[in-house]
Every structure is written in C-alpha cells, then in structure tokens.
C-alpha cells in the first residue's frame, strides 16, 4: 500500500478582510492587518508543506473575503464532496467557486436543496466511524439528516449553544479515531453527554485557550498545528503523544477562524475511519 499523502485545499488571502460582521469575532472597526494576514497564511502553508502535505489552492475572488476559510467549502467523503449551503448571503457567492474547483479536482459534487444550511467541514467532522455535526448557529439539523442519508454513516447532531463557537470546528477537533480536543461549554448538557459517550479520550480546553481558537487545529498524523497562545493544550497534547506546533494566526482570528478554518483536507482527516480504509490517490 502506498503511503497516503495528505492533501489540503487552501485559498490565498488576497481579498481577505473584515468587510461584514456575521459572527461575534468580526468587527469592522477593528480590521485585519492585511500584510500580516498574508504573512501568517504563507507561514501556515509553509508549515503544512514541511509536515508533508500537498497544498492545492482555490483562486481568490474579489468580494469574497471569507473564501480563505476553505474548511467551509464542503464535506469530503471519499471522492464525494457535499457542497456547503451558506446561511449568510455574504458567503453564498463562495458556493459556485468551491463547486467548480472541487469538480476540477475530480470530486463528485453533491448540492443540497437551496433552503437548507450546511457549512461543510466547519460543522461536520468525522471521528472514527461517526460524523459529529454542529447545528443551529450555521448548519441546520435538517441538512444533517440529509447528509446522513447521503453518506450512510452515523451522524450525531450537536447543538452549538455559544455564538462565539458558531462552527463545530471552533470547539471540537478529532485528533484520531478515538480522541478529540473540545471545549465543553460550547455544548449543552445533551451534547456534552453524547460526546463523552462516543469519544474515548477527550482533551478539554479552558475558556482562555478556547477563545484563542485552540480547537481549530490542523491534524497531520501526530502533528497538531494551532494558533499561538495555547500552551496548556500543547502540554496535554505532548502528554498524549502528539507533536503540537504553534503558528501565529491573529488576523484570521479577528474574522472568527484559525488554522483548521483555513484548510480543507481533501483525502479525509486522519481521524476519519473511511480515510484509513480507502487511501486516496489524489
């Protein structure tokens, strides 16, 4: 079996900026430093390449500042991409761009009905055989039922109850098929119960590190790439046998995103059981 080469979709931040406010992090009064953002993005890309990932890109588009957050493009399941349906009109223009690029990359692109909201890998993360899916703030629970029917896997909807953690990938990050980072306060007691029952090993974040987007991490094998400012998590990751790496992403945090939001794993996350069964030839 040829070793799997991790492949990640990214979008250069040419047009990135805080042009509207669709989450509590965005504030047009405090715009991102564009030069710094470009620098941070390239540093992340360089780091991921060094860790062995192949980087594919989407061509940036003027007027779509959030296109940089490719995690929200789609949910990848094998060679199928379930395209996002964005809740906010400001991001709906991204759908066509992502559809074209994913098609070009050889994916069968599935589009959900227009009246359903689903924000891709931002809200749907495999951990083992199960797809954990966030709903209420961005994705709707109805769309998750449809996704479940399409992919034929167990889909566990988790209500997101804190506006600051509006996507599941801001408060939950599968590290392997049996372990994950999470911020328990972003869920209600049902969600907490369900996660605790379904994930063997959980590393809980405190509020300070959770608001540094510590959960918005890119996992590549044993390497875990995060924003800076989460030393406590890094210590715990090391204890659990992972190799944490920090890279500054402050300008993207101003828009409500960090390392994970800036990437879309095209060959399947390491935590996804299906990705281990079917090595991608991308």
Partner 1 sequence: MNLASGPESTKSCVEDVEVSGHIIDSLLLPKILDAIMAHKGSFEIRRITVGQRRTDPSYALVQVQADTEEQLERILKTISDHGAVPVVASDCRLVAADLPGAFPDGFHSTTNQRTEIRLGGHWLPVELQEMDCGIVVDADRQTAQCIPMLDVRAGQQIVVGHLGVRVFPEQRAQSHSGFEFMDSPVSTEKPKRVVARQVAEWLMETKRQSGRTLVVGGPAIIHTGSGRYLCELIRRGYVQTLFAGNALATHDLEQSIYGTSLGVHLERGDIMPTGHEHHLRTINTIRRCGGIRQAVDQGLIRSGIMYECVKHDVDYVLAGSIRDDGPLPEVITDSVVAQARMRERIPDITFCLMLSTLLHSVAVGNLLPAWVRVVCVDINPSAVIKLADRGSFQTVPVVTDIEPFLRALLEEITRLEGESAAVSVPP
DSSP state of 128: B
Selected from 110, 141, 185, 273, the binder of partner 1 by CB under 8 A is 141
**Which residues between 183 and 202 bind partner 1 (CB under 8 A)?**
188, 190-191, 193-194, 198
Q: How far is the CB of 109 from partner 1 (least distance, A)?
A: 23
- Rank residues 193 and 276 by Cβ distance to partner 1 and give the closer one: 193
- Determine contact, residues 12/37, Cβ cutoff 8 Å: no
Q: How far is the CB of 88 from partner 1 (least distance, A)?
A: 17
Q: How many residues bind partner 1 (CB under 8 A)?
A: 24
Query: Is 142 an interacting residue with respect to partner 1 (CB under 8 A)?
Result: yes
- Rank residues 25 and 117 by Cβ distance to partner 1 and give the closer one: 117
- Determine contact, residues 166/138, Cβ cutoff 8 Å: yes
How many CA atoms are closer than 13 Å to the CA of 108, on its beta-carbon side? 6
The residue whose two tokens read 């991608």 is 280
The helix (run of H) or strand (run of E) holding residue 226 is: strand 223-226
Q: How far is the CB of 131 from partner 1 (least distance, A)?
A: 9
The backbone region for 211, taken as left when phi is positive above 0, alpha when psi lies in -120 to 50, beta otherwise, is: alpha
Within 8 A by CB and 6+ apart from 190, the residues are 159
**Residue 61 annotated to the active site:** no
**Residue 167 annotated to the active site:** yes
Spell out, one character per residue from 144 to 183, where the chain touches partner 1: x when CB under 8 A holds, - when not.
xx--xx--xxxxxxxx------------------------
Query: Is 278 an interacting residue with respect to partner 1 (CB under 8 A)?
Result: no
Q: How far is the CB of 156 from partner 1 (least distance, A)?
A: 4
Q: How far is the CB of 203 from partner 1 (least distance, A)?
A: 22
Q: What b-and-e string marks burial along 80-115, b requiring 16 or more CB atoms within 10 Å of the CB?
A: ebbbbbbbeebbeebbebbbebbeebebebbebeee
* Contact residues: partner 1, CB under 8 A: 129-130, 136, 140-142, 144-145, 148-149, 152-159, 188, 190-191, 193-194, 198
Q: Which residues are tagged catalytic?
A: 167, 261
């Amino acid at each position: 079996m040829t070793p799997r080469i991790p492949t990640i979709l990214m979008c250069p931040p040419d047009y990135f900026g805080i042009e509207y406010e669709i989450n509590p992090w965005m504030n047009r009064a405090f715009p991102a430093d564009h030069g710094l953002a470009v620098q941070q993005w390239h540093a992340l890309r360089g780091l991921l390449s060094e860790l062995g990932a192949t980087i594919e890109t989407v061509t940036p588009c003027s007027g779509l500042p959030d296109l940089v957050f490719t995690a929200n493009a789609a949910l990848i399941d094998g060679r199928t991409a379930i395209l996002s349906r964005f809740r906010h009109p400001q991001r709906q223009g991204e759908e066509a761009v992502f559809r074209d690029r994913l098609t070009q990359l050889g994916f069968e692109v599935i589009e959900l009905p227009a009246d359903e909201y689903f924000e891709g890998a931002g809200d749907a993360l495999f951990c083992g055989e199960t797809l954990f899916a966030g709903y209420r703030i961005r994705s709707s629970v109805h769309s998750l039922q449809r996704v479940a029917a399409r992919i034929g896997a167990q889909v566990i909807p988790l209500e997101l109850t804190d506006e600051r953690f509006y996507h599941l990938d801001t408060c939950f990050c599968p590290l392997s098929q049996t372990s994950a980072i999470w911020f328990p306060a972003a869920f209600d007691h049902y969600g907490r119960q369900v996660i605790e029952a379904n994930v063997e090993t959980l590393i809980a974040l405190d509020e300070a590190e959770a608001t540094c987007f510590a959960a918005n991490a890119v996992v590549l094998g044993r390497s875990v790439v995060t924003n800076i400012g989460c030393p406590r998590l890094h210590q715990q990751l090391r204890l659990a046998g992972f190799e944490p790496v920090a890279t500054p992403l402050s300008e993207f945090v101003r828009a409500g995103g960090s390392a994970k939001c800036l990437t879309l794993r095209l060959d399947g996350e390491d935590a996804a059981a299906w990705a281990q069964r079917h090595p991608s030839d991308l």
